A and B are shown apart, each in its own frame.
Chain A
Amino acid sequence: MSAPSGLLGFPEPGPARFTGVADVRRRLADAGYLADDGIAGVVHLADRLAKPVLVEGPAGTGKTELAKSVARVTGSRLVRLQCYEGLDESKALYEWNYRKQLLRIQAQQVIEGDDRWSADPAGPRGVTWHDVEEDIFSEEFLLARPLLSAIRSTEPVVLLIDEVDRVELETEALLLEVLSEYQVSIPELGTITATRIPMVFLTSNNTRELSEALKRRCLYLHLDYPTLERERAIVRSRVPGIGEELADQVARIVRSLRTLELKKHPSVSETLDWARTLVLLGVEQVDAEQARATLHVLLKYRSDLERAAKELDLSVGSVR
């Protein structure tokens, strides 16, 4: 175990962003994100404990959207780090701008009019190698990547580390210092600590187990498909011009689909797409034929489509 992140090294939470769970829910709802008790509770805790939140769950259940909405309601800037295979330090943390450093050294030579200064420890006019080194490894030559820029920011920030399961297990270690201490160590410069602790969200599609070290530093939130009532509310709030009856039907059909054994269950975003499609088509009440004709918006595999049509009895013959 590294530094005792729960005890002495515990970063001091800043002023509270939310007054309570109910406050989180209300403000997220105003921003168009309908959180249930679990989501609101974890966001509230993350704020109070100054801990990152690891959000896991099937694709299209609003993991990224949660971070965006929290940024919106707290008036913070969203800093996003999209993870991919092969992500490294220079893309995630910081990089030295070596072209500029090179220019700086060359400029020095031009000013001196003499390129032999490196041989003499105390070069002409007293400019030593040490001075130059100090100079080119200063903040001016530092390119801040998402993690560092989130830490250095003076304005409030929400840091979103998206699809963290895509990086290799070894690369995860890059994140650990930022996640537990909210600081970045740069050998040439020293340690840069956050002036105000950002809210951090990590999302994962669960394509692999994340390391224990990473999980231990985070609060865990599993976002599953919403309940019928919540899904209906989401459809109502996100799809303009949808009638209550249609929203109810959409939510119920999707729930029934999710009870089937499919390769890929319809996600919330697909539900919304479907609802929009139906509204565009001017449908006020879904019947079997319309459902069958538009089902491909919800389901993306042929075998799933067939099975759903069979199970929900959407064949043409059954329409009375």
Chain B
Amino acid sequence: MLDLLTGFVEELRAAGLPVSLTESIDAATAIGHVPMEDRLALKYALAATLVKSSSHWKAFDTAFEVYFSLRGPEYAMGAGSEPQGAGASGADGQGEGQGASGGAGAPASAEELAEQLYRALLAGDDGQVAAIARLAVARFAGMEPGRPVGGTYYLYRTLRQLDLDAVMVRLLESARQQALGRTLSALEERLAHDEVRHRLDQVRAAVEDEIRRRLVADRGAAALAKSVRAPLPEEIEFMHATRDELLALQRALHPLSRKLAVRLARKRRHGHTGALDFRSTVRHSLSSGGVPVDLRFRPPHPAKPELVVIADISGSVASFARFTLLLVHALASQFSQVRSFVFIDGIDEVTRLFEEADDVADAVHRVNTEADVVWVDGHSDYGHAFSVFWERWGHEVTNRSSVLLLGDARNNYHAPQAWVIEELRHRARHVYWLNPEPRAYWGSGDSIVATYGAHCDDVVEVRNLRQLEHFVAQLA
């Protein structure tokens, strides 16, 4: 058990969780206090001692499911609950579960299995749903032993056969029938819909569990954990994020902006640099007989910086620009003014979209649809965008503005027009360039970040939320 725990802690560390020595000792002590056969209790004991942040829960969950998937009686391999047809084991590449089957009444086809699933869901029979998920994986996943994969493909194959969409339609239909001839109101319809979706998510999770269990049995926990390891939300790279990862980023962004705003506001209030408040000092000296023991200061009024954000929103760096705009506008109260410009080869101001929209996410959506950013061919042209910016808005940049330039500076070999940045540098307080590419790639191919960077106060590598947070905290 201790070996397993050590391996598990190693895996958590590899996934980026900061697990200290004390915490792993605590975990070892804690599992002595929970019954070994209770898998859920074990999970919560480990979570309480090893995971100290809710954003790490997902990574912990994945690792736990992999490492402890074979524990507990109901999870034993080849359990009798697996109603497996004798001839159907062709897909079952691991050869386990043979002969332990219940045989009688085992469904033969995908349709029949879907039918069983439908009935089990209707009756709310969780045990039956799990059994069907197990069977479905055995029949349809077509797992090949030894393949170093995380199982996404197997999941897809299994679910395609079960055809959950059809099951969903039927479940909704039966919910309507339960209303006894009365038509459901829109609200009831929506609630039924959410309920069905929730149940189907559980089916999906059950199928995933089963696939994972088989993969662990095949390749061992450590190897599988490596294939399914996902980066923590704050370490996801903007440029290569998948759709799911982008959603995770979106969720992480809101609490992040809230935390950052609290921190910045505090920083402002606690700078003790305000001027002496003479009147208040004299007033307070009365209680100590006219001796000014307690000096009073005026609350400090540090000038809030004005922000001008100029972002490249062409394909490759679009999501990076989106998250930076989201974060900056979520923090708008920390700046005296935030103006945003977006470009591809043409440039357009989008500040008004953020001001009008109640919801920043809506605003970003409108930026993508309404801003007029294409000039010739819709390939990034930094030079043209910058020179247009200089002509139209350049005079509005003042010595209180900080200018943020967002992009990878891949200019498609157009003219760089770096003089704009130089001019901006003269006018503005600061000019920063944020580049979402890894530093090692800078200057390769058509990247001319060095040409622009020569005129900036700093060129910062911002590949993930953590780096973005760090930069914004410094800025405000």
Query: Footprint of B on A, CB under 8 Å?
Result: 1, 4-7, 21, 37-38, 41-42, 44-45, 48-49, 51, 53-54, 56-57, 85, 168, 206-209, 212, 215-216, 218-222, 224, 228, 249, 252-253, 255-256, 259, 261, 263, 286-288, 291, 303, 311-314, 318-320
**Is B275 an interface residue, CB under 8 A from the partner?**
no
25 A-B pairs in the complex with CB atoms less than 8 angstroms apart: A21-B38, A21-B41, A38-B47, A41-B48, A54-B52, A168-B266, A206-B54, A206-B259, A208-B262, A209-B53, A209-B259, A219-B48, A220-B49, A221-B48, A252-B191, A252-B194, A253-B187, A253-B191, A256-B191, A256-B194, A261-B359, A286-B187, A288-B185, A318-B185, A320-B185
Residues in B whose Cβ lies below 8 Å from that of A57: 54
Q: Are A51 and B44 in contact (CB under 8 A)?
A: no
- Looking at the complex, which one of B21, B33, B53, B190 makes contact with A312 (CB distance below 8 Å)? B190
Q: Are A313 and B190 in contact (CB under 8 A)?
A: yes
Q: Are B186 and A288 in contact (CB under 8 A)?
A: yes
- Looking at the complex, which one of A44, A209, A228 makes contact with B33 (CB distance below 8 Å)? A44
Extra pairs beyond A288-B187, A318-B185 (16, CB < 8 Å): A1-B20, A1-B21, A1-B22, A6-B29, A85-B266, A206-B255, A206-B259, A207-B259, A215-B53, A216-B20, A220-B48, A252-B191, A303-B359, A311-B190, A313-B190, A320-B185
With A21-B34, A45-B48 given, is the CB distance from A208 to B185 under 8 Å?
Answer: no
- Chain B interface size, as a band, is 35 or more
Residues in B whose Cβ lies below 8 Å from that of A5: 22
Residues in B whose Cβ lies below 8 Å from that of A207: 258-259, 262
How far is the CB of B216 from the nearest CB of chain A, in Å?
Answer: 23
- Cα A7 to Cα B28 with chains together (Å): 11
- Looking at the complex, which one of A85, A219, A252 makes contact with B195 (CB distance below 8 Å)? A252
Q: Are A312 and B187 in contact (CB under 8 A)?
A: yes
- Cα A5 to Cα B21 with chains together (Å): 11
- Looking at the complex, which one of A7, A37, A303 makes contact with B44 (CB distance below 8 Å)? A37
With A38-B44, A318-B186 given, is the CB distance from A255 to B194 under 8 Å?
Answer: yes
- Cα A1 to Cα B24 with chains together (Å): 14
8 Å CB contacts to A: which residues of B225-268? Answer: 255, 258-259, 262-263, 266
**Is B18 an interface residue, CB under 8 A from the partner?**
yes
Residues in B whose Cβ lies below 8 Å from that of A7: 25
Q: Are B187 and A261 in contact (CB under 8 A)?
A: no
Residues in B whose Cβ lies below 8 Å from that of A259: 194
Query: Footprint of A on B, CB under 8 Å?
Result: 18, 20-23, 25-26, 29-30, 33-34, 38, 40-41, 44-45, 47-49, 51-54, 57, 183, 185-187, 189-191, 194-195, 198, 255, 258-259, 262-263, 266, 358-359, 361
Q: Are A37 and B40 in contact (CB under 8 A)?
A: yes
Identity of the chain B residue whose Cβ is nearest the Cβ of A248 in the assembled complex: B191
Residues in A whose Cβ lies below 8 Å from that of B53: 209, 215, 220
Q: Are B51 and A220 in contact (CB under 8 A)?
A: yes
Residues in A whose Cβ lies below 8 Å from that of B183: 320
